[in-house]
Amino acid sequence: MGELLADHTTLRLGGPADRFLTHTDPAAWPDLTHTAVGGDAAPFVLGGGSNTLANDTGYPGTVIRMATRGVTVRPLGSDLVEVVVQAGEPLGSLVAFTVAEGLSGIEYLGGIPGTTGAAPVQNTGAYGQQISDTLTRLTVYDWNLGRARELRPADCDFGYRTSRFKTQPGRLTILNVGLRLARHTCASPIRYQHLADALAVRLGARPPLAEAAQAVLADRHNRGLSLPTCGPDARQAGSVFLNPPITHAQATAIRAAGGPVHSSPNGTLRASAGWLLEQTGFDPGIRVAPGVYCSQGRALTLTARDDATAASFTTALEVLADAVLTMHRIRLRSEPVQPNRMCLWRVGPGSGDG
Ligand SMILES: Cc1cc2nc3c(=O)[nH]c(=O)nc-3n(C[C@H](O)[C@H](O)[C@H](O)COP(=O)(O)OP(=O)(O)OC[C@H]3O[C@@H](n4cnc5c(N)ncnc54)[C@H](O)[C@@H]3O)c2cc1C
């Protein structure tokens, strides 16, 4: 039997991959791409597996786990540097490294599991910061063209928890990324009220860099946003739904009911998926489907327990989304990626550039 995806995802769900390759040496990438191509499905690229719901039947093709490590720092003049990071570098280690080096720009992304190469895929973000804020360029392998190319952030269609890597699944593999960071003893201005409260400062304040990074880790721990190494919530993929876009009328109704409404710089209003769920009566700790529970800390995180399967996890997602749709007339979109739904195109030339 092939390598089980359950052994490579934080939900610890998922059957075998037809073929499983681990990418550790950037110089060996061209050889690896030749080995990977073949069969009916596009290769599925895996980072830390913290945002992946792998199917019980596994993956009918090659899975490539990105495990390249390495960070280099290049001065850009003045107090700016460009940090070039290999895709397999854990995001948490990168944040810790940059804070220790006195580099500001990603300090609020500490404590998020997974790899740096996966972060641009859903434009991973937290506490008012997202990876696209500091990206300078990305080296990607284009499976359609069969070669590596460089992308600028403007090429990537970044938005709230989305990018072209998400909307064109499987086409582009991120090999390394460049980030522009500033040498500063202070953190970036705080844009997240909850964190400002935790640090007893006002929005827009710039607390000391290390203190801000530490406060994020402590706050994540207190609010059940960290990945425990053991216990009932150890098998999870973080929040299971994105904050949905809503109309002005829905925003008014939610505010009237005491719920939060977030507004993006582009004017899009979003409800809090967690708040919507709580209104439907799904409290922390509740069982939603066989082996699948809302986590002890929050309803928006689903955890897998002993008899959970990817199928029961999917059922749980449907149960929660249906409850919100029935009560609020708002459709939730799930956040974790399901590899078997990604085979939308075939490897090979002639499928167009862009
Ligand atoms: C406890 C917990 C807390 C979390 N908190 C947050 C949070 O605060 N904010 C947030 O945004 N997310 C959060 N997440 C979700 C997740 O950790 C992030 O989205 C993370 O960036 C995913 O990284 P990964 O390496 O684990 O991705 P994976 O699950 O391995 O992959 C996710 C997707 O990216 C693709 N991918 C992976 N690597 C590459 C690559 N090199 N090139 C191209 N595609 C690639 C995969 O094919 C898949 O489609 C949390 C998850 C957990 C478990």
Do residues 172 and 140 touch, judged by C-beta distance below 8 A?
Answer: yes
Q: Which amino acid is at 51?
A: N
Query: For residue 248, how many other CB atoms are within 10 A of its CB?
Result: 9
Q: Is 227 in the pocket of ligand 1 (CB under 6 A)?
A: yes
Alpha carbons 5 and 22: distance in angstroms, whole number: 13
Residues 102 and 149 in one domain: yes
Q: Check pLDDT > 50 for residue 348.
A: no
Q: Residue 214: what pLDDT?
A: 97
Q: Residue 37: what pLDDT?
A: 79
Residues 166 and 278 in one domain: no
Backbone angles phi, psi at 189, to 5 degrees: -55, 135
Decide if 17 is inside a domain: yes
Q: Which CATH number do you get for residue 265?
A: 3.90.78.10
Tell me how many domains the chain contains: 3
What band does 350 get if pLDDT is binned at 50, 70 and 90?
Answer: very low
What band does 354 get if pLDDT is binned at 50, 70 and 90?
Answer: very low
Q: Is 309 in the pocket of ligand 1 (CB under 6 A)?
A: no
Strands 59-66 and 17-23: parallel
Tokens matching residue 91: 């995001």
What band does 340 get if pLDDT is binned at 50, 70 and 90?
Answer: low
Alpha carbons 210 and 186: distance in angstroms, whole number: 8
Q: Check pLDDT > 80 for residue 273.
A: yes
Q: Residue 332: what pLDDT?
A: 97
Residues 138 and 48 in one domain: no
Considering the candidates 104, 107, 161, 298, report the single residue annotated as catalytic: 161
Residues 218 and 77 in one domain: yes
pLDDT digits (tens, 9 = 90+) for 288-320: 999 999 999 999 999 999 999 999 999 999 999
What band does 265 get if pLDDT is binned at 50, 70 and 90?
Answer: confident
Residues 215 and 82 in one domain: yes
Tell me how far CA of residue 100 lies from CA of 56, 76, 96, in angstroms: 41, 19, 6
Annotation marks residue 161 as catalytic? yes
Q: Which CATH number do you get for residue 42?
A: 3.30.43.10
Residues 217 and 133 in one domain: yes
Decide if 102 is inside a domain: yes
Q: Residue 351: what pLDDT?
A: 40
Q: Which amino acid is at 49?
A: G
DSSP string, 273-314: HHHHHHHTT--TT-EEETTEEE-SS-TTEEEE-TT--HHHHH
Alpha carbons 295 and 122: distance in angstroms, whole number: 22
227 CA closest ligand 1 atom index: 1
Do residues 121 and 139 touch, judged by C-beta distance below 8 A?
Answer: no
Residues 32 and 108 in one domain: no
Burial (0-12, 13-18, 19+ Cβ within 10 Å), 253: middle
Decide if 229 is inside a domain: no
Backbone angles phi, psi at 297, to 5 degrees: -95, -30
Q: Residue 44: what pLDDT?
A: 93
Report the chain's terminal Cα–Cα distance, integer Å: 38
Tokens matching residue 352: 């167009």
Q: Where are the alpha helices (DSSP H) in the chain?
A: 29-36, 91-100, 164-167, 193-199, 209-222, 248-256, 273-279, 310-328
Residues 89 and 137 in one domain: yes
Q: Is 14 in the pocket of ligand 1 (CB under 6 A)?
A: no
pLDDT digits (tens, 9 = 90+) for 92-137: 999 999 999 999 999 999 999 999 999 999 999 999 999 999 999 9
Annotation marks residue 335 as catalytic? yes
Last residue of a domain, which of 38, 68, 98? 68
Q: Residue 38: what pLDDT?
A: 66
Range of the domain at 55: 5-68
What is the average pLDDT value for the chain, to the nearest integer?
A: 93
Residues 251 and 177 in one domain: no
Residues 269 and 306 in one domain: yes
pLDDT digits (tens, 9 = 90+) for 12-38: 999 999 999 999 999 999 999 988 876
pLDDT digits (tens, 9 = 90+) for 133-153: 999 999 999 998 889 999 999
Per-residue pLDDT, averaged over 50-77, amounts to 95
Do residues 15 and 55 touch, judged by C-beta distance below 8 A?
Answer: yes
pLDDT digits (tens, 9 = 90+) for 213-254: 999 999 999 999 999 999 999 999 999 999 999 999 999 999
| pTM to 2 decimal places | 0.94
Considering the candidates 163, 226, 239, 312, report the single residue annotated as catalytic: 239
Longest dimension (CA), the chain: 59
Q: Is 238 in the pocket of ligand 1 (CB under 6 A)?
A: yes
Residue with the nearest Cα to atom 51 of ligand 1? Answer: 238
